[in-house]
């Protein structure tokens, strides 16, 4: 049990710190947006509480839930700085928890999920338009266009279903949920945050490019080559 508690404590610190990256890169405003992390080896995840400002976040406020979004409580967490339990009964998990939980249940390779309303990526989502792969950086990071997922309302796992169904047919770690905004996934929470940062960057750059004229497409074979090199060789 102590190993689990230590893992929970570490992830609460990490998830809390990663929320500061969202504000640093101006991907969120007010209390919108969230980062979550899967607890390795357990059907649990750590996620931001609902309605708490970014300035007010701290590791002990991060909520632990099962993979159906139900907060876990009533267990000692001395390894977690003396918090009364994992579930923070006075706090509710993010309103997007059901979507995150559905992703974890259905994409076992995913260890982190991020949602933002970053300006340019959300503008593409409002148009219901994929971001075309016209940059080598997109080939590297996304292996093709950033796809659009279906319109879905918050409240159940409909958004999660849209994310999973869309990413099942794409190499992209990002999906633009129509009329909502970007969700990104990664092997861990940090990787998912990186994908969110890169998603906004390419959304902005491609938008600016289109103001000057039609961006030049990259041959699909070249995109595949870029992606394979970046994912398997670069930085190794």
Position 73 scores a pLDDT of 76
What average pLDDT score do residues 27-53 get? 97
Position 90 scores a pLDDT of 73
What average pLDDT score do residues 171-198 get? 98
Nearest to 167 by CA among 189, 191, 150: 150
pTM summary value: 0.94
| Residue-number span of the structural domain to which 224 is assigned | 2-232
Residues of the chain above pLDDT 90, percent: 89
- Domain count of the chain? 1
Position 89 scores a pLDDT of 62
Cα separation, 121 vs 47, whole angstroms: 22
Q: Is the pLDDT of residue 1 over 80?
A: no
What average pLDDT score do residues 204-229 get? 98
Q: Is the pLDDT of residue 76 over 80?
A: no
Mean pLDDT estimate for the chain: 93
Cα separation, 31 vs 33, whole angstroms: 7
What average pLDDT score do residues 102-110 get? 98
**Pair of tokens at residue 154:** 């918050």
Q: Is the pLDDT of residue 8 over 70?
A: yes
pLDDT in tens, 131-182: 999 999 999 999 999 999 999 999 899 999 999 999 999 999 999 999 999 9
Is residue 112 within 8 A of residue 189, CB to CB? The reply is: yes
Q: Is the pLDDT of residue 74 over 90?
A: no
Here the CATH number for the domain that contains residue 75 is 3.40.225.10
């Amino acid at each position: 049990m102590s190993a689990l508690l230590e893992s929970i404590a570490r992830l609460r610190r990490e998830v809390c710190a990663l929320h500061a990256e969202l504000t640093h890169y101006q991907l969120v405003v007010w209390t919108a947006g969230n980062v979550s992390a899967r607890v390795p080896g357990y059907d649990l995840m750590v996620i931001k509480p609902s309605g708490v400002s970014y300035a007010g976040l701290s590791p002990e406020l991060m909520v632990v839930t099962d993979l159906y979004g139900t907060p876990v409580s009533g267990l000692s967490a001395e390894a977690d700085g003396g918090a009364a339990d994992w579930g923070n009964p006075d706090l509710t998990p993010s309103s997007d928890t059901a979507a995150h939980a559905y992703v974890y249940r259905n994409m076992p390779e995913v260890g982190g999920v991020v949602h933002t309303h970053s300006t340019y990526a959300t503008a593409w989502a409002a148009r219901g338009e994929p971001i075309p792969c016209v940059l080598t950086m997109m080939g590297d990071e996304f292996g093709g266009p950033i796809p659009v997922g279906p319109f879905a309302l918050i409240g159940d796992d409909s958004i999660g279903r849209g994310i999973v169904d869309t990413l099942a047919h794409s190499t992209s770690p990002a999906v633009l949920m129509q009329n909502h905004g970007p969700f990104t996934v990664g092997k861990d929470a940090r990787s998912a945050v990186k994908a969110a940062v890169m998603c906004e960057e390419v959304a902005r750059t491609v938008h600016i490019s289109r103001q000057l004229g039609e961006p030049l497409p990259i041959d699909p074979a070249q995109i595949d080559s870029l992606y394979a090199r970046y994912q398997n060789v670069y930085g190794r």
